[in-house]
Amino acid sequence: MQGWLLAVDRISAFFGKAFAWLIVGLTLLISFEVFCRYVLNSPNDWVWDTTYILYGILFMMAGAYTLSRNGHVRGDVLYGFFPVRVQAGLDLLLYFLFFFPGVVALVWAGATFAETSWAIREHSSVTASGPPVYHFKTFIPVAGTLLLLQGIAEVVRCVVALRDGAWPARLHDVEEVDVDKLKKMVGVDVPVVPAQGSAR
């Protein structure tokens, strides 16, 4: 089971890190537009459309990756002090109440939007010469499917944590908030199964 969980984490990481390179493209594109607008006094309409399309793809494709790293917004100040089984039970409840209905709706509606967009060869209406957006809309159900797969892995983690009283290992990156340090400062010790050597 642990191997399957880490494999799902790796899939999410692959897509998240691959699409993170869009940040480089966005930076170059916006720098180009700033130069054209303020130095050459010749702004480009297509840059606006392109930047929001690229940012939208980046945002959507990072969802599963962020979930695999346990990085979505949560009230860590309280949640981090709960025993593991309470955390797992709360997560499990919230996954079934909110996560799965929302993500299934995203995949279903996204597939419909993408299909319609491809059928009419939809173009952006934000600017007069808007670029095609049907490629962009295809990423909605793709991102939702990746998020759904990672969500299933997270539910399995919750079940294992309820059973064992410790969270199964997951792949890790840099942590934004060091909750473990905070726990040590106030004397709270929460058992965690150590990550396997192959989890890096």
The distance in angstroms from the start CA to the end CA of the chain is 17
pTM above 0.85, yes or no: no
Helices of type H across the chain: 2-20, 22-38, 45-61, 63-68, 76-79, 84-94, 100-120, 134-164, 179-186
Rounded Cα distance, 14 and 164, in Å: 29
What does the mean pLDDT of the chain come to? Answer: 86
Q: Which pLDDT does position 200 carry in this prediction?
A: 42
- Percent of the chain at pLDDT exceeding 90: 55
Radius of gyration of the chain (CA): 21
Structural domain spans, the chain? 2-185
CB 37 within 8 A of CB 45: no
> 199: pLDDT confidence band, cut at 50, 70 and 90?
very low
Q: Which pLDDT does position 139 carry in this prediction?
A: 95
Per-residue model confidence as pLDDT tens digits over 51-69: 888 999 999 999 999 999 8
CB 149 within 8 A of CB 11: yes
Residue 42: burial class (beta carbons within 10 Å; 0-12, 13-18, 19+): exposed
- Percent of the chain at pLDDT exceeding 70: 88
Per-residue model confidence as pLDDT tens digits over 135-172: 999 999 999 999 999 999 999 999 999 999 998 888 87
